[in-house]
Amino acid sequence: MVPLTMVNYEIIIQIVFAAIISFILVFISIPTILTVAKYKNLFDEPGTRHVHKHRVPTLGGLAIFLGIIFTYSLFRDWFEYTSIPFLIPALLIIFAIGFKDDILITAPIIKLLGQLLAAFIIVGFGDIRITNFHGFFGLTPDYFTSLFFTVLFIVFIVNGFNLIDGVDGLAGITGIITVSSFSVWFFINNIAFLSVIGAIICGSLIAFLYFNLFSKKQKIFMGDTGSLIIGFLISIMAIHFMEYNIPEKRAELNYTMTSAPAVAMGILIIPVVDTVRVFFLRLSKGRSPFAADKIHIHHRLLTLGFSHIQIASVIGACNSFFVIISFLLKDMGMIWLILLNFSLGILLFQIPALFIKRKKRKLLTRKKKRAQY
C-alpha cells in the first residue's frame, strides 16, 4: 500500500489517459451518430410527456457506450489492471434494452427483466455483492440474502438514474458528481482500476454534455441507453465502495468510512430520494410506481420557471452539498447519517412544491380580485 502522503503518479497518468481517450471517442462519434439519426429519422418527438419543443435525436447513449466500452477494453490490455468480472456482458444487455427503447418503445416489464438479468450476471457470476450490512441493526446477510439485496440495489439505482434524465444536463452532471465522489475516494486509497473506470465515465459524460447543453446545431439526448448504462456502472462503484469499507478491510485503507452505506446514500442522494418520493406519491394515488408523470423534482423546478441549465446546476449543487456533508460526517454512525441524509433530501425536494402552491394561491387571489371588478 502506498502511503497517503506519497503521490502515485502512475495512477494519475492512467486516470488522465482514460479521461482523454473516452472524451475524444465520444466527441468524435456524436456528429456521425447525429447524421445517421437524421438520415433514419430517429428523433424524440415533442409531446405532453416531454419538456422539449423540438425534435432531438436520442442516441447520445450510443456514443457514451462506445467511449466507455472501448476505453475500458483498451486499458485492460495495455495497463493490465484488475477488471470487473462479467462487466462487458452485463453492459451489453443494459445497452441492448436501452437502445431498443430509444428507437422503439419497450414494455416496462421487458426493461425490468433485462436489468435483472444484467444485475444477476454481475452479482451471481462476477461475485460483486454487498456481503456486509456494516452493523445495520446487527444483521449479517447470508449468500442468498446478499445476492437478492445486491440485485435489488443495482436495479433501484439504474432506474433512479433513468428517472432523473428529464432535462438537459441533469443526468450528465449528476453522473459526473457521483462518479467523481467515489473516484476521489478510490484514488486516495490507491484503488487504481476503479479510479480509472471513474475517469472513463467522466470523460465520456463531459464530451456528451458539450452537445447536450451547449451545441445548438448538434444537440442530442442521452436517452435510456446512456442513463441505464451510467446508473449500472455507478451502482457497481457504490458496491465496491461499501465492500472496501467493511471492518475486515479497513486496516488496508488510507481513508476509511465507518458509515460507508450512509455515505454512499449521500453521494447517490438525487436518484435515491427522487425515486422514493415519486414512487410513494404514485402509490398513494393508486397508480403504478412506473407510470409516467411530471412530479419529479426537475418538473417542479420547470414549473417555477427555471431553465434546463439552471435546474441541472441547482440539483448538482445540492448533490455536491450532500457529498461534502456525508464525507465530513462519515463516522457519525450509519443509521443517524442515513436518517440525516434522507430527511434533508426529502425536505429540500419538497421546497419547490411549497413555492408552486404559493404561486397557485397568488394566481387564484388575482383571479378573485379581477372577478370583483
Secondary structure in 3-state letters for 141-179: CCHHHHHHHHHHHHHHHHHHHHHHCCCCCHHHHHHHHHH
Q: What are the CA-CA distances from residue 86 to residues 93, 119, 124, 335 (Å)? A: 11, 10, 10, 33
* Cell numbers representing residue 332 in the block: 457519525
* pLDDT reported for residue 3: 44
pLDDT of the residue at 47: 53
Dihedral pair phi/psi, residue 56, rounded to 5°: -135, 135
- 361: exposed, middle or buried (Cβ count in 10 Å: 0-12, 13-18, 19+): exposed
Between CA 203 and CA 170 the distance in angstroms is 16
Any idea what the Cα angle at residue 46 is, between residues 40 and 49, rounded to 5°?
125
Which parts of the chain sit beneath pLDDT 50? Answer: 1-5
Q: Where are the domains of the chain?
A: 9-372
SS3 99: helix
83 DSSP assignment: P
Taken as a whole, the chain contains a residue count of 373
Specify the pLDDT at position 51.
Answer: 54
Alpha-helix residue ranges (DSSP H) falling in the chain: 9-39, 60-79, 87-103, 108-120, 143-164, 170-188, 192-209, 223-244, 260-267, 269-284, 297-303, 308-328, 334-372
Residue 4's pLDDT is 44
3-state secondary structure of 56: strand
* Nearest alpha carbon to residue 269 among 244, 227, 234: 234
Spatial separation of the C-alpha atoms in residues 363 and 119, rounded to whole Å: 48
How far apart are alpha carbons 264 and 246 in whole angstroms?
A: 13
Nearest in space to 65 (alpha carbons), one of 178, 224, 171: 224
Calculate the CA 280 to chain-centre distance: 20
Neighbour-count burial of 55, counting CB atoms closer than 10 A to its CB (0-12 exposed, 13-18 middle, 19+ buried): middle
Rounded distance between C-alpha atoms, residue 260 and residue 328, angstroms: 12
Is 30 within 8 Å of 146 (Cβ atoms)?
A: no
Q: Whole-angstrom Cα distance, residue 121 to residue 115?
A: 10
Provide the pLDDT for residue 107: 84
pTM: 0.91
